[in-house]
Each structure stands twice: as structure tokens, then as C-alpha cells.
Amino acid sequence: MTAKRVSYTLDSSLHSVNTAEETAQLLAAKAGFDEDNCLRISMAVREAAVNAVLHGNAYDPGKKMTVAFENTGRALVITVTDEGRGLDVSKVPDPTTPENLLKQSGRGIFLMRSFMDEVRIRLLAPGTEVTMIKNVSGSDTHLKEASK
């Protein structure tokens, strides 16, 4: 994997969500991830993009979503940023509790965390930034050994 970064500023629309997902799929494949991991990465990006467009920007045509992809050579780092009110992660209900199991929403962050090696959520002024990292095979092992 060669280090590279690309960033897109997109409208707050479902078309933009699809664009982010398709770009993630393409760049993950280019980075050398297998088919299953490409699917996981693109689904995590879709969840982050839906949250940005729907919950963050509330489909406001005056607000944008930014999606950045960085191939560091050791990992694919994806950042999704919106211009909304901001997200208090502590107030997001746990989708695995019995009272939330049948709800149709609220699984996005859970899925991102399940599919990616690391997920960081940061409040901006305005907006929210979600950074997702997927390590290249062997990179996470190397990092664990380096921390010993």
C-alpha cells in the first residue's frame, strides 16, 4: 500500500451517501483488502455518511458532508464530517439492550465499531467528525508487538 489521501465535499443527500460508500469500496479494494473487508469498510462508511446527512445535517442543502480517505500504507483511515449540531455519543442508545433490539434505527455507530479496527467520534464547532481505521493485514499484529 502506498500512502495517499483524497477528500470529497458532498451535498447532504442520499446520492452523496451512495457516492461515499462506492468510493470506500473502490479504495479499500485498491488498498488490498479482501472482498469481505471491502464490504465491511464500505458499510461502515455508509453508516457514517447516513448519520452525517440525516442526523447531522438534517438534509439541509446549505450544509455539506466531507469524506476523506487516507491510505497510510499500514491502514485505511476514513473521516466523515458533517456541519450539524454535534453528537453526544453518551446519549446514543445501546442497540443490543432488550428495549432497543427491535428499533429500526440506532445501529450505525455499533456497526461502524464492529466493522472497523478503531472508531473515534469528535465534536466540532459545528458538526461531528467520525474517524474510522481499518488496519492492513499484519499491521495490527505489528502494532501490538511494538507496544509490548
How is residue 13 annotated by DSSP?
S
| C-alpha to C-alpha distance for 24 and 22, rounded to whole angstroms | 5
Q: Which residues does residue 29 pair with via DSSP β-bridges, in sequence order?
A: none
Residue 106 corresponds to which cell in the numbers above?
A: 440506532
Q: What is the pLDDT of residue 134?
A: 98
Using a 10 angstrom Cβ sphere, with 0-12 exposed, 13-18 middle and 19 or more buried, the burial of residue 67 is buried
| C-alpha to C-alpha distance for 103 and 135, rounded to whole angstroms | 31
Grade residue 2 by pLDDT with cuts at 50, 70 and 90: low
Mean pLDDT value across residues 51-80: 96
Residue extents of the structural domains in the chain:
4-146
How is residue 69 annotated by DSSP?
E
Q: Is the pLDDT of residue 124 over 80?
A: yes
Q: Which CATH number fits domain 4-146: 1.20.1090.10, 1.25.40.10, 3.30.565.10, 3.40.50.1100?
A: 3.30.565.10
Using a 10 angstrom Cβ sphere, with 0-12 exposed, 13-18 middle and 19 or more buried, the burial of residue 54 is middle
* pTM, entire model: 0.85
Q: What is the pLDDT of residue 108?
A: 84
Which DSSP helix (H) or strand (E) runs through 78?
strand 75-81
